[in-house]
Structure 1
Amino acid sequence: MRKILIVGAGQSGLQLALGLQSKGYEVTLMSNRTADEIRAGRVMSTQCMFATALGHERDLGLDFWEQQAPRIEGLGVSVADPATVGTDSPARAIDWVGRLDGHAQSVDQRVKMSGWMETFVQRGGQLVVHGAAVGDLDYFSRGYDLVLVAAGKGELVSMFARDAARSPYDRPQRALAVAYVHGLGPRPEHPEFDAVRCNVVPGVGELFVMPTLTTSGRADILFWEGVPGGPLDVFQGVKDPSEHLALTLELMERFTPWEYARATKVELTDAGGTLAGRYAPTVRNPIGRLPGGGLVLGVADVVVANDPITGQGSNSASKCAATYLASIVEHGDRPFDEEWMRATFDRYWRIAEPVTKWTNAMLAPPPEHVLGLLGAAGQLQPVADRFANGFDDPADFEDFFFDPEKTAAYLASVSAG
């Protein structure tokens, strides 16, 4: 029986641990918190998982909240009219919703990670609750066939050098602010199905609104992404949750009144229902070297950390865990050497590269042909649907999004059809 150590109990670490466990591996999982501490703590993220990522969970029998979480069947895009931004009457220049081929779902990571962690222990996994430092890994690694680092924050990330060629940004591109709320009303357009709403305010930032399942049941996430130094970049130093929510709503009223209209009666889900921060999108070298000479392999956002503007974090983590699981199982009893680690990451990078390219493009002001594409989606439902489904398969954007000529040819083909 091969022994594997996984450091980090988020989406990728736990999914991989439970997957390996189901294949008969002896897995030790290191977490800096217990399941109860996670469940009672502060929200850790926003998340909306699309069909492919949900399928990876389903394949492992980990879709515990499938029946309780809202079924997200669409993805809507609104773009504020630049001429009205900052005035007393902001208006939308673009507003549409695309239908997803397979539903998406969001489960608060406090619910999912605590539940998965308890399942891992119930199934015989060894859980070590300890905040690991590089020195700890150097000691522990000698007893394992493979060490995987899935903890995307803290000292351990410093073992993985930034890949400058794949990381065009060296500083945060958005200031992030999240609030989980109860009491949000339905959008008057399409109230019959749940959708994620992406509201673009040119030059200012984006507001995402997504249905979720949290510790107290059905809720919605209000998520601002602000251009650093701009009018949305006001959450640093705000410690009081009610002040955070008040700021969120004030900005909604100012920049996205069509969303604010259904948020007048919201309240926070709990005292831990807010989060603010920022980080630079970064791709890192996948292999870390320990002081004693051992090698460790980075997982998910340890090695590919994209801005959440495209909602890909938990999706990429799930896809990374699925590809790593396949690579480990296929490798049999051969040593997990540097060559295997490099090949395992390269296999994941084939999935992650289109995500990174698209996400980095979305952080820049949209070029004219992209604004034309978004505008056309309001008149042509197949365009709206294809854009929405790109959140599940970002590789598809290569064929109609980045290149003005491909965009024009695609729109012409849809119009003709």
Structure 2
Amino acid sequence: MRKILIVGAGQSGLQLALGLQDRGYEVTLMSNRTADEIRTGKVMSTQCMFATALGHERDLGLNFWESQAPRIEGLGVSVAGPDGSRPVDWVGRLDGYAQSVDQRVKMAGWMETFAERGGQLVIHGAAVSDLDYFARRYDLVLVSAGKGELVSMFGRDAARSPYREPQRALAVAYVHGLGPRPEHPDFHAVRCNLVPGVGEMFVMPTLTTTGPADILFWEGVPGGPLDVFQDIKNPADHLQVTLELMERFLPWEYDRARQVELTDAGGTLAGRYAPTVRNPVGELPSGGLVLGVADVVVANDPITGQGSNNAAKCAASYLDSILAHGDKPFDRDWMQATFDRYWGYAQHVTKWTNAMLAPPPEHVLNLIGAAGQLQPVANRFANGFDDPSDFEHWFFDPELAAAYLASVS
């Protein structure tokens, strides 16, 4: 029986651990927190997972909260005018529904499931020196903890990482009490509100530790009027500033949010990071090799909502590569090839996400505007969040964009 160590108990690490465990591998999972500490801690993300990523969980029988989480059937875009109007406002319908489950709920539940099924769970904040020792005892070591010292083992891939600094300041609040959306009261949708030159706000339904809720998520251009959350420590103050900015820039969203309350004391999050692609193989001081997983090696800004989706798809791709490798050694060539297989998909996410961080060119503005008049365009935008590779065919190139609009006009 092959022995595998996975460091990091997030979406990718746990999904991969449970998948390998189900196939008879001897898996050790290392986490710096217990399940209870995760469940009662602060929110970690804004995870909205689309149909393909949810399918990977379903394939492994890990869709424990599918009947409880709100079904997200659309994705809408509004553009704010300087006078508080919405010159652009549309909703695309998803071919398959999306869902958001608070990672405190999911990761704690999956971690307990892994232990109940006989997995070896080690609660320890691993350093490089720890991995140097442990690596000799395992056939393969995977690192899925995307922050801290371990990431330093994976060098930045400059050719694939155009940004050296964070491109957005992030601020999240989980709330109860958000009013209904009059534009589509019969179904749930993620709403993306664009404030030109200032940033974006995303509003999405979720399932959290206290039941169904909504996420209010600001992405602010650094140094701009939304970049004010860094020093706010009190959750109530965080929510108050969130609402004040909504009233100033997005009055239609503020009207729904006048009565909201935080879901719990841990329901806020703020931070920033530079989107980065890293080399996938890390070398330990003793010469041992480890393979980076998901946002350890491909960390995109959350402006396109791809973090959890990438993590699920990376875990599924790596699982297939491990199973197909049989009893052969997990050497450097295999590690590179395993990442390259995943990068064949992830490159499209990275290209699209980095493009969305920059001011949109004229042809993209035309596409966004056309989606308000042509439902097929709105629907194609929405479903691109599930399969970003589709944007290659109509989004990036002005001639392809014009040809596409002509074909649906």
TM-score, normalised by the number of residues in structure 1: 0.98
Q: Offset of 1:90 from its aligned partner?
A: 1.2
Aligned to 2:160: 166
Matched, 1:189 2:183: yes
Matched, 1:340 2:361: no
The answer to whether residue 51 in structure 2 is matched with residue 57 in structure 1 is no
Aligned ranges 1:13-412 → 2 under 5 Å: 13-81=13-81, 84=82, 89-412=83-406
Please state whether the residue corresponding to 2:257 is helix, strand or coil: coil
Q: Percent identity?
A: 84
Q: CA deviation at 1:93?
A: 1.2
Q: How far is the alpha carbon of 1:49 from its aligned partner?
A: 0.1
Does the residue aligned with 2:256 lie in a helix, a strand or coil?
Answer: coil
Within 2, Cα distance between the matches of 1:386 and 1:378?
Answer: 12
Q: 2:194 is matched by which residue type in structure 1? A: V
Residue type of the alignment partner of 2:379: D
Q: Deviations over 1:95-128 (max 9, x none)?
A: 0000000000000000000000000000000000
Q: Distance in 1 between matches of 2:29 and 2:172?
A: 28
Gaps of 5+ in 2: none
Q: Say if 2:20 is the partner of 1:2.
A: no
Looking at structure 1, the residues matched to 208 and 223 of structure 2 have their Cα atoms a distance apart, in angstroms, of: 31
Distance 1:184 1:399 in 2: 37
Counterpart residue type for residue 384 of structure 2: G
Q: Structure 1 counterpart of 2:80, which letter?
A: A
Alignment partners' CA distance in 2, 1:347 and 1:319: 11
C-alpha RMSD over aligned residues: 0.4
**C-alpha distance in 2 between matches for 1:186 and 1:157:** 42
> Given the two structures, how large is their TM-score scaled by the length of structure 2?
1.00
| Cα distance per residue 1:181-229 (max 9 Å; x no partner) | 0000111101100000000000000000000000000000000000000
Letter of the 1:232 partner, please give it.
L
CA distance in 2, matches of 1:121, 1:286: 28
Q: Which amino acid aligns with 1:182?
A: H
Note the alpha carbon deviations across 1:65-116, whole angstroms, 9 max, x for none.
00000000000000112xx1xxxx4111100000000000000000000000
CA distance in 2, matches of 1:13, 1:295: 17
The answer for unaligned runs of 5 or more in structure 1 is: none
Please give the per-residue CA displacement for 1:374-405, whole angstroms capped at 9, x wherever unaligned: 11000100000000000000000001100111
Query: Could you tell me how far apart the structure 2 residues matched to 1:358 and 1:262 are?
Result: 31
Q: How far apart in 1 are the matches of 2:180 and 2:65?
A: 22
Q: Which segments of structure 1 move beyond 3 Å, counting only runs of 4 or more?
A: none
